[in-house]
Structure 1
Amino acid sequence: MLSIRNIVKQYANHRALDNVSIEIEDGSIFGLLGPNGAGKTSLIRIINQITAPDQGEIFLNGEKLNPSHISMIGYLPEERGLYKKMEIGEQMLYLAQLKGLSKSDATLRIKHWFEKMEIESWWHKKVEDLSKGMQQKVQFIATVVHDPKLIILDEPFSGFDPVNAQLITDEILDLNKNGATIIFSTHRMESVEQLCDSIALIHQSKKILDGKVKDIKNQYRNNTYQIRFSGNLESVENQFFNITNQKIDDDITQLTIQIKPEHSVNDLLQYLMPQVQISELMEIIPSMNDIFIQNVKK
């Protein structure tokens, strides 16, 4: 759906994006990741046509990005932008009409979303009277009320308690199920694991990693297992594995073992089974959080 090709963005002496290319599939949830200052927000602003790239092009559904595409995009910025003195209902009507909806269509859709978010009584409240989490709900509705085909969410869970975070998660999955493509920028790697099909990791203005989440996690597997057993192990010295962590709790021993590349988990089991009673064996696959830290540090 979205093809980002060789984007360069320079601000005075700072290069925010350096030849960044990303392909985002139609109907996917795509994680745009990176530490603070990496260039994520600069790229999001270019996609929203708030700023323009110095070099490179972006194509949406095969067409070069242009002002007619704005009505197809919903954008939830990290820095929220609601008018604090306006009534919420009036503000939602205003923002929905900016995206091309008639007043009658906007009213129907806003009422529908207010019911979904359990805020029907908020129409005449002012934004300044709401908590940060409540304001987040309102801004989320403003992002999706016009039924955009591309939804860009920058730190959408900021300020939410676990109940409301789950509510927004369910709505994101429902929007995606109904055909929306979602770009999801966050520092919460557990949300990436839960929601994203693919990711790109940007660091110091460059893309340093991208691909499907499951493929990336498989790529970083390193033959490490956690094993729990009872009984006495005469020796934990072995030529084909390294013990990276050991814990003994009552009669149960837990080891974290990395098997050397030329050997398999079967070799480990053959070594242990004559000596101990194994109660659990689990492969430790690096999390997206581990992969993020490893790549950024490297």
Structure 2
Amino acid sequence: MPDTLALRGAVCPSVGHGLERRALCETSRMSEVGRRYLQELIIAELAVSPGFDPAQEVESRVGFLVDQLTSSGARGYVLGISGGVDSSTAGRLCQLAVERVRAQGGDARFVAMRLPYGVQQDEADAQRALAFIQPDEVLTVDVKPASDAMRDSVLASGESFGERADFLHGNIKARQRMIAQYAVAGARGALVVGTDHAAEAVMGFFTKYGDGACDLTPLTGLTKRRVRALATELGADPGIVHKVPTADLETDTPGLPDEQAFGITYEDIDEFLEGGEVSAHAYEVIVSWHRRTVHKRAVPIAFAPGGGHAEPALV
């Protein structure tokens, strides 16, 4: 008989271990108290605070970036700029941080990188973002040649991508972008900044070792609407703040909105993460994505001396 796990009134069967474990079972079978408790666990895991003051958040996150440069001895930051609100906000925070370091007598620069795959259809949005960020330097690297060459080399080995070809090629693009950023960061003695925040993290909506690979994430704990609030506080124009979020990795579905991929809205995700009530459908979708993508938020599973392995937590 399987073990059971009680979640404040919700008792669910547990099967297997690690990623196979279904201790939380189908949320439709959980009590309301259990569903609320699971929501609270996810909120705590992703460090979403109950209160939010945009001006205070800007100051604390710029301070965080300054402290990281001071403590690490790094000479600046590198970040890829897509034109969306996430990279625009993180980029402006980075620029403010390096300016503060220089004002204190230090030496730091921010390099904003444009990383198009060939010609980016919304290049005007990216240029608008750069005008807002006002980075010390802009570098452009076309990731198309490297991305296509890697895909072709893998296929030439005899591997077949099948129906997942476009999706897998999209992941290659994301990882080539991070390779470029780390190459520049290595040459400059700088750190690579990521744009992950709570609303993307809960859904696992990033490429593992692609845009999910970085040295630090100044937007951690923020919901999407809070990222937008920070962008507004920093002076971004409405076109940047309200640009439709899209990963834009797949050739067959260019510019596919994140919300279309999710099947729910960022408003649903934000409400869940800020402790509010959401529809049963939205709850199921969020919890399901969170479970399926646990491996993306965990460090690599390591061998444990004495046998077995360390298991990533479900929540």
Tell me if TM exceeds 0.5.
no
Structure number, greater radius of gyration: 1
Structure 1 or 2: more helix by fraction = 2
TM-score range normalised by the length of the shorter chain: under 0.3
Q: TM-score with structure 2 length normalisation?
A: 0.25
Report the structure, 1 or 2, having the larger strand content. 1
